[in-house]
Amino acid sequence: MSRVADLRAQLQATASLPADRPQGLSGAFYTDPDYFDWECRSVLRSGWYCLGRTDEIPEPGDYFTARILNEPLIVVRGDDCRIRVLSNVCRHRGMPLAEGSGNTRRFVCPYHAWAYGRDGALLRAARMDNAGFDAKSCRLPGFASTHWRGFVYCNLNPEAAPFIDAAPDLDTLVAPYQGETFRVVHSAEEAWRTNWKCLVENFMEGYHLSVVHPVTLHGYTPTGLAKKAASGPGFTSYNANYPLDIPPRGTGAPGLSDAERKRSTLFAVFPAQVASQASSLLVSLSIFPLAVDLIRVKWTMSVFGDDLDEATVSARIALWEQVNAEDRDKLEKLQQALGSDHARAGPLAGDDYEGTIRDFHLWLATLDRAAGGSG
């Protein structure tokens, strides 16, 4: 049996364990380059990726760039105010058209100056009067995109299942917070030396909170108060409850219950978005797998109305920078050790602490079965 076939069989065996006897995955799932290639084909290429927030690009012509696997992308608001996700690859000889973010009337290729409109149509290609070249039918390919609660999503696979099919119960869970009205106050990108699944699992389990974040998070979201919440096809969640005696952290949307105000709901939209929704603060990490041991992480922080003053927003950004640094340090060390022959599958803690990891593995196993084939 090939190594990938062996890991696929192990994944199915893990998924069929009884719910009260959950196990993690062995190190090879996180370190084997051939298994990562298989995941690209079976899971990652057809996933809905969160690219950021709609209000990062509020005006026509506002854009930012992104990359899913091997596909460079431009996320741009058009003259019709619609957000489109276009290929960031020039139709002439393949140069990237844009870098970073900004506002533009047209995307002019830095190589030979072909110019494209905000909808991807080719507007100008100098000295291209060869027979057979029709500028009018030449345009940048577009990708399927949608938005939900203020997040922009994209899927590379034109035949992928619609986004909303993945998570209607998740919407019920976070709808009271009115995430779509939150305004973005911070966005940053980093490269982390870890496997993409390590960050999904790390963000989604409350077991590590008090150990890894004793100063930054333990006071507000101690491990002992973590409670598993809804899960379903394509998502999982848990509530990081606050101790009763902490001061309120902003009132948030009208109609939120007391309990909703006194917790952060951490959710994952598989494969690669993890987020924390609280009454006044919404933090989301978009994970972009680049290699078996490398991801790009884009994280955004958004706030509800004017709930938090400027000083508090700055303090929250600094806090989350610290939290992310604490997690990154652990995950980069973990990645090294997962290469060991002794990185065998270990037991997972109960539902409230690591049940979300089991949900993730069940989802991976379902997609693996659906992909069929020999890997």
Query: Which member of 39, 201, 205, 327 binds Fe ion (CB under 5 A)?
Result: 327
Please give the order of strands across the beta sheet that includes 107-108. Answer: 107-108, 115-116, 122-124
Q: Is the CB of 90 or the CB of 229 nearer to ligand FES?
A: 90
Its sign, for the CA torsion 125, 94, 110, 83, is positive
201 binds Fe ion (CB under 5 A): no
Residue 109 binding: pick among Fe ion, ligand FES, none (C-beta 5-8 Å cut-off by kind): ligand FES
140 binds ligand FES (CB under 6 A): no
The answer for residues whose C-beta is within 8 angstroms of residue 55's C-beta and 6 or more apart is 150, 183, 184, 302
Which of 351, 197, 365, 211 lies closest to 274 in space, CA to CA?
Answer: 197
92 binds ligand FES (CB under 6 A): yes
Q: Is the CB of 82 or the CB of 124 nearer to ligand FES?
A: 124
The region of 36-44, 87-95, 159-167, 343-351 touching ligand FES under the rule CB under 6 A is 87-95
We find the least distance from the C-beta atom of residue 340 to ligand FES, in angstroms, to be 45
Q: Is the CB of 90 or the CB of 230 nearer to ligand FES?
A: 90
Q: Is the CB of 8 or the CB of 197 nearer to Fe ion?
A: 197
308 binds ligand FES (CB under 6 A): no
Query: Which member of 43, 74, 76, 109 binds ligand FES (CB under 6 A)?
Result: 109
We find the least distance from the C-beta atom of residue 124 to ligand FES, in angstroms, to be 10
We find the least distance from the C-beta atom of residue 132 to ligand FES, in angstroms, to be 17
CA distance 357 to 22: 9
112 binds ligand FES (CB under 6 A): yes
Which of 237, 236, 248, 258 lies closest to 280 in space, CA to CA?
Answer: 248
Total site size for ligand FES, rule CB under 6 A: 9
Residue 90 binding: pick among Fe ion, ligand FES, none (C-beta 5-8 Å cut-off by kind): ligand FES
Residue 191: beta bridge partners? Answer: 296
The answer for residues whose C-beta is within 8 angstroms of residue 137's C-beta and 6 or more apart is none
Residue 108: beta bridge partners? Answer: 115
The answer for residues whose C-beta is within 8 angstroms of residue 230's C-beta and 6 or more apart is 169, 170, 172, 173, 237
Distance linking the first and last C-alpha atoms of the chain? 11
